[in-house]
Amino acid sequence: MAAMQSAVQTAISENKGWFYFLGILLIVLGTAAIALPFVTTIAAKIFLGWLFLIGGIIQIVHAFSTRAWSEFFLDLSIGVLYVVAGGWLAFFPLTGIVTLTLLLALMFIIEGVLEAVIAFRMRPHAGWVWMLLSGIVAIAVGVLLIAKLPSSAAWAIGLLVGINLIMSGFAYLFLPTAAGAKGIVRQS
């Protein structure tokens, strides 16, 4: 156990510049998202649409390249569904914000649970509390999004994405600081 703690501490210390960079970048992006919540909402919707659109096109190409497969029509149907959904999200950015808000809320809840798991797995190491706090905030953001639907969908996505990015940024920013402080205390 002590060897594993030492290895994690060493890995964090050796890569602290990357932890600081990621933390600061997430804080800056989160601040921009909070400053422009409606723009962030629309940008997230368009980005998600393009992901579905590209995925759907690839699925259709896959269906036609494996025509002999017995599930050709189902494979093709899934691709068409992705293309239609992606096109709707990407090219009609002012529609479907409530649906996107619900999907984002679920993503935040899952992210929060995963960050909490990471925190508890890191628990004996310095900085685990910051990761746990980030996870709790992500879960709270997801629950808040679901609770306020549909009235706040236009601004809530951008605001809550910003809060989540800032919390994750602080978690990554403070992790090497806490690990370094713990390492100094142990060496004394």
* Tens digit of each residue's pLDDT (9 = 90 or more) over 81-91: 999 989 988 89
Q: To 10 degrees, what angle do helices 97-122 and 128-147 make?
A: 160
Closest CA to 172 of 124, 121, 117, 135: 135
Contact 59, 78 (CB under 8 A): yes
Instruction: Quote the pTM value.
Output: 0.59
Give the domain ranges of the chain: 2-42+94-183
Residue where the block lists tokens 């995925």: 55
Residues 6 or more apart whose CB falls under 8 angstroms from that of 146 comprise 102, 105
Q: What is the pLDDT of residues 132-169, one digit of tens each?
A: 998 999 899 889 888 888 877 878 778 878 988 999 99
